[in-house]
Structure 1
Amino acid sequence: MSDGFQPIPVTTDEPVLAAADVSVRRGSQPILEDLSLSIPAGSRTLVRGPSGAGKSTLFSVLGLLEPPDSGRVLVDGTDASGLSERQRARLRRDAIGFVFQDFQLVPDLTVHENAVLPQHHGGDRDEAWVDELLETLAVADRADRYPATLSGGEKQRVAIARALANRPDVVLADEPTGQLDPETTERVVGLLVDVQESAGTALVTISHDPSLEGLFDRTVTLRDGRLLEE
């Protein structure tokens, strides 16, 4: 292809997360078109694209937060399109962790209570693992504080701990550095990669930040509703 991009190759290993021929439309406007993506266990994938390219829609679809208009999303080999909303929620809770750009911490819960929240929603109770995450992410000394007292970098590190609390098979991060300055970005993303490796989970980061590329196994670009490998 003359633009230097190649279609993403199909892998034979069963992925922890996969999209197959996914399409999403907003009225008559196509957002995602016949998009396919395969995420191997333990891998790190960076999805790039300009504002308005559909990155947030892709995040929602991969995370089972909204269904595609057509195509399939499979999590650990389970086709989510055939599940009820309750079954989708259970699969999402057990297999996927989320890191949001705006953190989405519960304001009236402490750092520790926010981080352990996924376990209270049906995961295995393992607060020692959460304590280990908070220590690794250098916010253990903030465990009894509330989100309003934290810096942006500290909030994002708590959000990362929460995303990994249930030891999910894959973590989805949507513009995780969008509200952070460059110095804080480097620290937070470095810690995210460290805990991702120690937990053995896959990581999919959706971002327009070019400084992140060197930390990922591969980088793909969302263009015209499709993903292309760089």
Structure 2
Amino acid sequence: MTDPVLAGTDLRVTRRGTTILDGVSITVPPDAATLVQGPSGAGKSTLFNVLGLLEPPSSGRLEIDGRDASALSERQRAGLRRTTLGFVFQDFQLIGDLTARENASLPQEHAGDRDPEWLETLFERLGIDGLEDQYPATLSGGEKQRVAIARALANRPEIILADEPTGQLDPDTAESVLDLLFSMKASTETALVVISHDPQLAKRFDERLFIRDGTLVADAPDRRAAERSPETR
């Protein structure tokens, strides 16, 4: 059996006496597509931050690429983020005074390993070649998200983590971005973990997990009940 590239065991996050994640366990095999769904306030974004080494869990164990991230220093965690993880955010998080190419190359700059040919390949595959010198303010939402995907793949990560990657896009653009994510996943043999509240995404993934009140549950609850969930993100 192939070892997972990401494995979280009994992950818990508590803030000011409030439990945000309550014993979440998740396993992601190489080249898998995993969807984590849940209503606003369920703890999805906190789980994203923990899996992405952006926030340490209060307790539990997190292994990434066979390494116990819980035992690493912050500097080592940052290094593991750069080499193993790629991030796609709902609000794109592009830097306004950098061009599309400069935004996409940031992971390479931070790692000290420039590969302009790979960036050119990414821009071509994502259909944004010709926009390399444009600034974010001149790009559409779909173009910004494609630049964000190029940035996520810049260091050839083993895992892409995407937090509501279609949340700010119209349905047609959202479908196109998902097509691109899956196409790039297939061509780069990268595991894909998507955090989303959108129930329409489920059919495209190998595994679907549902989080409610900080806990993974067997299946999605009644939609109206989900909409009544309190905000705890």
- TM-score over 0.5 for the alignment? yes
Match of 1:188 in 2: 177
Q: Is the 8 A contact 2:41 2:213 kept in 1?
A: no
Query: Is 1:162 equivalent to 2:175 in the alignment?
Result: no
- How do residues 194-205 of structure 1 correspond to structure 2 at under 5 angstroms? 194-205=183-194
| 2:160 is the alignment partner of 1:171 | yes
Deviation at 1:132, TM superposition (A): 1.0
Amino acid at match of 1:160: I
Please give the secondary structure, in 2, of the residue aligned with 1:81.
helix
Q: 1:40 aligns with which of 29, 45, 52?
A: 29
Q: Specify every segment of 5 or more residues in structure 1 that has no aligned partner in the other structure, as ranges.
A: 1-11
Q: How does 1:1-230 map to 2 (within 5 A)?
A: 13-122=2-111, 124-230=113-219
Deviation, structure 1 residue 228: 3.4
CA distance in 1, matches of 2:132, 2:103: 9
Structure 2 residue aligned with 1:6:
none
Q: Is the 1:18–1:36 contact (alpha carbons within 8 Å) kept by the matching residues of 2?
A: yes
Tell me if structure 2 keeps the 8 A contact 1:123–1:166: no
Q: Say whether the 8 Å CA contact 2:36–2:209 is kept in structure 1.
A: yes
Task: Tell me the CA shift for residue 38 of structure 1.
Answer: 0.5
What letter matches 2:21 in structure 1?
A: L
Segments of 4+ moved more than 6 angstroms: none
Q: Which moved more, 1:36-45 or 1:124-133?
A: 124-133
**How many Å apart are 1:178 and its aligned residue?**
0.7
Deviations 1:137-186 (CA, angstroms, capped at 9, x unpaired): 11111111000100001000100010001000100000001110111100
Letter in 2 for 1:64: L
Q: Which secondary structure does the structure 2 equivalent of 1:148 belong to? A: helix
Instruction: Determine the C-alpha separation between the residues in 2 that align with 1:33 and 1:210.
Output: 23
State the number of aligned residues.
219
Identity %: 62
Structure 2 residue matching 1:154: 3-state secondary structure: helix
Q: CA deviation at 1:123?
A: 5.3
**Worse overlay, 29-38 or 51-60:** 29-38
| Structure 1 CA distance for aligned equivalents of residues 24 and 209 of structure 2 | 12
How much is the aligned-residue C-alpha RMSD, in angstroms? 1.1
